[in-house]
């Protein structure tokens, strides 16, 4: 999606704001700066919904956490989780009431039981499927049970394997920690099988959110290009990448065509600010008073401008508009500067 500056602000004409949680609203137990007040402001005239790949907590627990942070009108109905998306896939693959081996925490167990399945933690119970999601307590013993249950490839009569998500990392208050993708990868290494994925960047979780909130013109806010932005783009939803979580300016400059946000934000205060026009004249791309020039293989900073986010926007659009990958440029170290808040 090109940054064309078509709208007065990223929120203009938006009827539903869909926000990722980790790295967008909070990191660990604590709210990120400016996130709560910005979402409250956005929610005065439009619906707020939340989409999370984190499968460790129930929708009700997540809603209670958001209420504690100040998003006081949040209910479980406002939270769309990857376990809920996983149930969409599971119900199409196995018979009602089947036994399911669950690798994960309460958030996944609750959704499996809501869908009418029987939960087991042992491969010895002959489960009809394995569903895997993140939980801090997941360890070797649990991953081994998954490997035992998945020893036979599905093409040879083995059972389905559904992962809620494959995020490699998860933002925490102390920093960036391994996510569900690392745990899924461990099972893959043991079984040589690939899981079907329900959460971002796959469509089931976005389709669930759009249907639940009757969204006509939603905006999705995320902090990761490979899950949040790629998934929103695949689902036909405009997106905003906020630099308060996983992906940094260097990742934005290198974003592939299928993972480029409609908007780039330093923090959520910019949701309701006029989004600057991206102006290109010849080889020079300008955003407000920040300018970047493409000179062959060199990316040249003409003017840093007063706001670091505008320099990121100008550099990203300059690179994207050439159709060339980031490794085709010599990029000044200054463009990788990262003054933006992160966990």
Cβ partners under 8 Å of residue 55, min gap 6: 81, 82, 83, 86, 104, 105, 107, 108, 133, 134, 135, 164, 165, 180, 199
Task: Quote the pLDDT of residue 204.
Answer: 87
What whole-number distance in Å separates Cα of residue 278 and Cα of residue 274? 12
Shared-domain flag, residues 156 and 294: no
Task: Quote the pLDDT of residue 7.
Answer: 60
Picking from 4, 95, 14, 21, the residue whose alpha carbon sits closest to that of residue 245 is: 21
Task: Quote the pLDDT of residue 173.
Answer: 78
H/E stretch holding 120 reads: strand 118-120
* Weakest mean pLDDT among 21-30, 33-42, 109-118, 123-132: 21-30
Note down the domain range covering 213: 16-82+201-272
What whole-number distance in Å separates Cα of residue 290 and Cα of residue 4? 16
Mean pLDDT computed over 318-336:
94
Average pLDDT, the chain: 94
In the predicted structure, residue 330 carries a pLDDT above the cut 50 = yes
> Hey, how many other C-beta atoms are within 10 angstroms of the C-beta on 2?
11
Final residue before a domain boundary, out of 241, 272, 303: 272
In the predicted structure, residue 27 carries a pLDDT above the cut 80 = yes
Shared-domain flag, residues 191 and 119: yes
Provide the CATH number for the domain around residue 153: 3.40.50.1000
| Cα distances (angstroms) measured from residue 223 to each of 4, 35, 260, 333 | 21, 13, 12, 22
Task: Quote the pLDDT of residue 302.
Answer: 97
Shared-domain flag, residues 111 and 240: no
Verdict on whether the full-model pTM lies above 0.85: yes
State how many domains the chain has: 3
What whole-number distance in Å separates Cα of residue 298 and Cα of residue 290? 17
Final residue before a domain boundary, out of 195, 219, 237: 195
Could you read off the pLDDT of 276-305 as tens digits, one per residue?
999 999 999 999 999 999 999 999 999 999
**Could you tell me if 112 and 119 are in contact, meaning their C-beta atoms sit under 8 angstroms apart?**
yes
Three-state DSSP class for residue 260: coil
Could you read off the pLDDT of 135-175 as tens digits, one per residue?
999 999 999 999 999 999 999 999 999 999 998 988 787 88
Shared-domain flag, residues 227 and 255: yes
Shared-domain flag, residues 92 and 106: yes
Find the length of the chain. 343
Any domain includes 126:
yes
Shared-domain flag, residues 88 and 190: yes
Shared-domain flag, residues 20 and 166: no
Catalytic residue list: 20, 22
Mean pLDDT computed over 209-217:
96
In the predicted structure, residue 3 carries a pLDDT above the cut 60 = no
Shared-domain flag, residues 137 and 186: yes
As a whole-number percent, the residues of the chain with pLDDT over 90 amount to: 90
Any domain includes 341:
no
φ, ψ (nearest 5 deg) of residue 68:
-60, -35
In the predicted structure, residue 32 carries a pLDDT above the cut 50 = yes
Shared-domain flag, residues 180 and 88: yes
Give the side-chain half-sphere CA count within 13 A for 180.
Answer: 28
Neighbouring-strand partners of residue 278 = 287
Shared-domain flag, residues 147 and 190: yes
Task: Quote the pLDDT of residue 170.
Answer: 84
pLDDT tier at 4 (50, 70, 90 boundaries)?
A: very low
Any domain includes 1:
no
Q: What is the largest CA-CA distance in the chain?
A: 66
What whole-number distance in Å separates Cα of residue 331 and Cα of residue 319? 10
What whole-number distance in Å separates Cα of residue 40 and Cα of residue 71? 7
Sheet architecture: strand order including 129-132? 118-120, 99-103, 129-132, 161-163, 196-197
Final residue before a domain boundary, out of 157, 172, 195: 195
Shared-domain flag, residues 134 and 175: yes
Mean pLDDT computed over 35-59:
95
| Cα distances (angstroms) measured from residue 332 to each of 240, 291, 315 | 25, 13, 10
| Cα distances (angstroms) measured from residue 100 to each of 190, 232, 262, 322 | 20, 29, 39, 49
Picking from 31, 96, 23, the residue whose alpha carbon sits closest to that of residue 54 is: 23
Could you read off the pLDDT of 95-108 as tens digits, one per residue?
999 999 999 999 99
Shared-domain flag, residues 107 and 191: yes
């Amino acid at each position: 999606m090109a940054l064309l500056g078509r709208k007065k602000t990223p929120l203009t004409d938006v009827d539903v704001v869909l926000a990722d949680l980790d790295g967008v609203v909070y990191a660990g137990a604590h709210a990120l700066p400016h996130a709560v007040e910005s979402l409250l402001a956005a929610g005065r005239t439009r619906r707020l919904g939340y989409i999370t790949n984190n499968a460790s907590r129930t929708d009700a627990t997540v809603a209670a956490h958001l209420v504690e942070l100040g998003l006081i009108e949040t209910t479980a109905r406002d939270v769309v989780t990857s376990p809920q998306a996983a149930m969409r896939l599971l119900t199409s693959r196995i018979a009602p009431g089947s036994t399911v081996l669950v690798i994960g925490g309460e958030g996944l167990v609750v959704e499996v039981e809501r869908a009418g399945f029987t939960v087991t933690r042992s491969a010895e119970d002959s489960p009809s499927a394995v569903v895997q999601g993140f939980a801090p307590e997941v360890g070797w013993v649990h991953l081994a049970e998954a490997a035992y249950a998945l020893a036979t490839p599905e093409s040879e009569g083995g059972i389905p394997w559904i992962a809620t998500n494959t995020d490699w990392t998860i933002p925490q208050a102390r920093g960036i920690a391994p996510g569900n993708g690392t745990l899924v990868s461990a099972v893959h290494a043991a079984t040589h099988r690939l899981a079907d994925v329900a959460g971002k960047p796959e469509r089931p979780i976005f389709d669930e959110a759009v249907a639940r909130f009757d969204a006509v013109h939603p905006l999705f806010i995320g902090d990761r290009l490979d899950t949040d932005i790629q998934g929103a783009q695949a689902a036909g939803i405009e997106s905003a990448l906020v630099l308060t979580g996983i992906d940094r300016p260097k990742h934005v400059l290198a974003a592939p065509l299928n993972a480029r946000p409609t908007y780039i934000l330093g923090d959520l205060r910019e949701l309701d600010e006029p989004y600057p026009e991206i102006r290109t004249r010849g080889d020079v791309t300008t955003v407000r008073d920040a300018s970047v020039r493409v000179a062959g293989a060199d990316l040249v900073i003409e003017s840093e401008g007063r706001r670091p986010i505008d320099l990121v926007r100008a550099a990203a659009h300059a690179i994207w508009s050439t159709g060339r990958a980031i490794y085709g440029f010599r990029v000044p170290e200054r463009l990788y500067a990262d003054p933006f808040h992160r966990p």
